[in-house]
Amino acid sequence: MMNSAQAPTIDIEPIRQQALLTPPAKPLSEAERQALFARLKRLLKEKDAVLVAHYYTDDDLQQLADETGGCVSDSLEMARFGHDHPAGTIVVAGVRFMGETAKILNPEKRVLMPTLQAECSLDLSCPADRFSAFCDQYPDRTVVVYANTSAEVKARADWVVTSSIATKVVQHLHEKGEKIIWAPDRYLGDYVQKVTGADMVLWQGACIVHDEFKAAELRKLHEKHPGAAVLVHPESPADVIEQADVVGSTTQLINAVHNLPNETFIVATDRGIFYKMHEAAPDKKLIEAPTGGIGASCGSCAHCPWMAMNGLQNLADSLEQGTNEIHVDPEIGRQARVSVQRMIDFAAELKTGAIGESNIASPA
C-alpha cells in the first residue's frame, strides 16, 4: 500500500555484533545444578517471590518455574501472571523489556532479573527519542508498537501488542479507518500489513535470531521431510513465512504441535521453545529450521544470545542479594500502562465477544 510516510533506515549490524559479544550463563555440573535447584526453591519461598520465565530461556529455568508454581509463557502472559500472583517479588527470566513490562503492570511489586544486560535487538533498534521524533511527524497516525520495546517507547504508543494479537488489533483499527505507525519489527509489521491490508508505516527493526532463518535451506529441509508441518514465528523474513503451515506467536506454535496430526515439525523460532513443545507432545519430532549455520553468517543460530544470559546461578544471586532490580520512571510507567492495558482490555473483549472476531483476520 502506498503512503507518504517513510520510516528511517536502521542499521542492525552493530546490534548483531554486540550480541556476538554476549556471554551465556556459565555451564553447570549436575551437582551444581541440583544444589542450585534446592537453593532456589528455598529462596523463592523465603523472599516471597515467584519466577516467571520466557519460552526461550534455558530448560532448567522453565523447569524451575513450573516446579515452584511460577509460569513459563510469552512476555505479556508473564506480566499478567505476576500481577495476579500474590507474591511481593516477581523474578523475570528473560530480557530487559520483559522485566520492564512486569514493572509497568505491577508498579507496587519488586521486579528482579538474573541479569540487566539481557537486551533485545528489536528494543535496541528502536531508540525512544528517534522513534518519538518520527511519530511527531505523522500526528494523524495511530502508533502501535510490539511488546519488544522499552518502557519509553511503550509510553509514546497508543497501543502495545504481542504477536498473538497484533493482527487483530491492526484489523480493528483499519476497520475504523485509522492509519498506523508500526514498530519496531519490519517482518512482523510486513506480515500484519499483508493480512489486514491496513495503511502502515513500518519501523525497520529486526530480531537478529529470526532474521537468520533461510528460505532456500528451509525449502530443501522440507523436501527431506515432506510430511512435516512448518511452524514459523512472524518475526521471520517474508520468504520464510510464505512456507509456513502455521504462522503464530510462541503460544500458538506450541498449541499447533499439540493439535496438528503431523508427526514431525520444522520450527522457525528460538529453540528454547522445544522444552514446552516436547511437554505438549512428547512423541512428536521437532527439527530446527535452518539458519546460516555455525561458521557462516549466523550470529544466533536459532537461539537468542541475550536469553542465554539467564541461568540458575545468576538467578540465585539476584534473589539472594536483591540485585538487578528493574526500575521504571513512575510517569513513564503510568503512560506505558495505558497502552498495554488497552491491549489487555481488547483481548478480554475479544474473548467475551464484545468485539466481533468474525471479520478480523486470523494470523494463520
Window 177-196: residues binding ligand SF4 (CB under 6 A): none
Minimum CB distance to ligand SF4 smaller for 19 or for 87: 19
CB 3, min distance to ligand SF4, A: 26
100 binds ligand SF4 (CB under 6 A): no
Q: Describe the strand order of the beta sheet including 200-202 as a list of residue ranges.
A: 159-161, 141-146, 179-183, 200-202
Instruction: Give the footprint of ligand SF4 on residues 203-262 (CB under 6 A).
Output: 207-209, 235
Contact region with ligand SF4 (CB under 6 A), list: 36-44, 120-128, 275-283, 312-320: 120-128
- Judged by CB under 6 A, which stretch of 40-48, 254-262, 281-289, 299-307 contacts ligand SF4? 299-307
Minimal distance, residue 288 CB to ligand SF4, in Å: 14
CB of 205 to ligand SF4, least distance (A): 9
Packing angle between helix 96-105 and helix 75-84, nearest 10 degrees? 40
Site for ligand SF4 in 329-358 (CB under 6 A): none
Q: Is residue 153 a contact residue for ligand SF4 (CB under 6 A)?
A: no
Which amino acid appears at position 212 of this protein? E
Choice between 22 and 323, CB closer to ligand SF4:
22
Q: List the interface residues with ligand SF4, window 264-283 (CB under 6 A).
A: 270
Residue 105 beta carbon to ligand SF4: minimum distance, rounded to whole angstroms: 18
Interface of this chain with ligand SF4, residues 122 to 141, rule: CB under 6 A: 122
Between 44 and 305, name the residue whose CB sits nearer to ligand SF4: 305
Q: Which is nearer to ligand SF4, 121 or 171 (CB)?
A: 121
Please select the residue that binds ligand SF4; options are 62, 101, 121, 324, rule is CB under 6 A: 121
C-beta of 262 vs 314, nearer to ligand SF4 = 314
Site string for ligand SF4, 41-80 (x = CB under 6 A): ---------------x------------------------
Among the candidate windows 3-11, 45-53, 201-209, 290-298, which touches ligand SF4 by CB under 6 A?
A: 201-209
Binding of ligand SF4 by 95 (CB under 6 A)? yes
Q: CA 61 to CA 42: how far, in whole Å?
A: 15
CB-nearer residue toward ligand SF4: 62 or 121 = 121
Per-residue HEC secondary structure of the chain comes to CCCCCCCCCCCCHHHHHHHHCCCCCCCCCHHHHHHHHHHHHHHHHHCCEEEEEECCCCHHHHHHHHHCCCEEECHHHHHHHHHHCCCCEEEEECCHHHHHHHHHHCCCCEEECCCCCCCCHHHHCCCHHHHHHHHHHCCCEEEEEECCCCHHHHHHCCEEECCCCHHHHHHHHHHCCCEEEEECEHHHHHHHHHHHCCCEEECCECCCCHHHCCHHHHHHHHHHCCCCEEEECCCCCHHHHCCCCEECCHHHHHHHHHHCCCCEEEEECCHHHHHHHHHHCCCCEEEECCCCCCCCCCCCCCCCCCHHHCCHHHHHHHHHHCCCECCCCHHHHHHHHHHHHHHHHHHHHHHHCCCCCCCCCCCC
**What residue ranges bind ligand SF4 (CB under 6 A)?**
56, 95, 120-122, 148, 207-209, 235, 270, 304, 306-307
